[in-house]
Amino acid sequence: MKSLNHLRQKALLLLLLLAAGTAKAQESLGIIKENAEWNILWKSTSSPTQTLITETIKLGEDTLVGGATYKKLLQKQSSPTDFGQGCLDYCLHGLIREEPTGKVFFKPNNQDCEYLLYDFGMVVSDTAVMYWCQNPNCEILIRIDSISTQNIAGLDRRVFYVSSKDQYGDDWRWLNTWIEGLGALEGLLYSCHIVNAGGITLHELLCYHENDEVLYVNEHYNTCIVDSNNTSISETVQTIMRFDPHSQNLCLLDSSNVKYITIYDMLGRVVFNQKICLSQTIDLSPLPNGTYIVFAQTEKQIVSTFKFVK
């Protein structure tokens, strides 16, 4: 009898360990973390000439509201615009919190309501009602069309493909993409669409940083800061570095403000990552021949990039 009880206890312990392991595997990679930063491109098509600005979002200190712990969400924009209505230096934009189940909620500044931004606990064909889609008065239905797993920013992350419609519509449209631990490919706060808005203001995630290191880059742009009203930003991109094909060196024309260099191949893999001290040239001869994207981050958190062929 003693032996049988011992076996039962061991079996129960094994089941508990398996259950704990399964629960851990199902936990979502958290979006809310220290020293995270998002650069989001805003594109306004309402004027005769397209206006481009960059919104930068980072998370501040914890705050307790109604018994729930939030992080302060700070936002700034690269230029003043008539559609951005943001700050040129970091200011409080709202509060954000995350539940262990993968739900993320945003509480805008000067509003008593909080809105569901994400639910990474959803599975394929699940639907949910969302309101924070640039217009909190508009009810939007979202649906998870499919989920894949991809290696992004050095980790295997679930990628959710999301469509939406309003409460009166019959068609699912405006496909969006959520990346576990990063947020939407349109930007942290733009996880759903107003279906009937017509796309007057569009968004794209340019870059994602953790601890001052670039972990995600948008391959369609050559910088983390895009601004049609600020020519000095594009000038910085053009003059900060160049590649010499003869010496196979990456030459920094002004290395005093560069913090580190990261190089990606065309598959999005990091092939070189180095903190910059005094050297103004970096030997890239060990890299195999191919096309690469170079990212250099300055002390002002501006990333300059370009492509080169080796």
Task: Determine which of 80-84, 100-104, 105-109, 243-247 has the lowest per-residue pLDDT on average.
Answer: 80-84
Does the pLDDT of residue 252 top 60, yes or no?
A: yes
pLDDT confidence tier of residue 279, bands split at 50, 70 and 90: low
Q: What domains can you pick out in the chain, each with its CATH number?
A: 36-217 (no CATH), 231-309 (2.60.40.3080)
Burial 36-53 (b: 16+ CB within 10 A, else e): bbbbbbbbbeeeeeebbb
Task: Determine which of 74-78, 82-86, 261-265, 292-296 has the lowest per-residue pLDDT on average.
Answer: 82-86
Does the pLDDT of residue 203 top 50, yes or no?
A: yes
Dihedral in degrees, nearest 10, Cα atoms 192, 194, 198, 199: -30
Structure confidence by residue, pLDDT tens digits, 164-188? 887 776 778 777 899 999 999 989 9
For residues 228 and 42, what is the distance between their CA atoms, to the nearest angstrom? 11
Does the pLDDT of residue 287 top 80, yes or no?
A: yes
Instruction: Report the sign of the C-alpha dihedral through residues 236, 239, 243, 249, in that order.
Output: negative
One-letter amino acid of 221: Y
Q: What's the mean pLDDT in 281-287? A: 88
Structure confidence by residue, pLDDT tens digits, 46-99? 555 667 889 999 999 999 998 899 999 999 998 876 655 678 889 999 999 999
Does the pLDDT of residue 299 top 80, yes or no?
A: no
Round to the nearest angstrom and report the end-to-end CA distance of the chain: 73
For residues 127 and 145, what is the distance between their CA atoms, to the nearest angstrom? 9
Burial 280-289 (b: 16+ CB within 10 A, else e): eebebeeeee
Q: What's the mean pLDDT in 203-209? A: 89
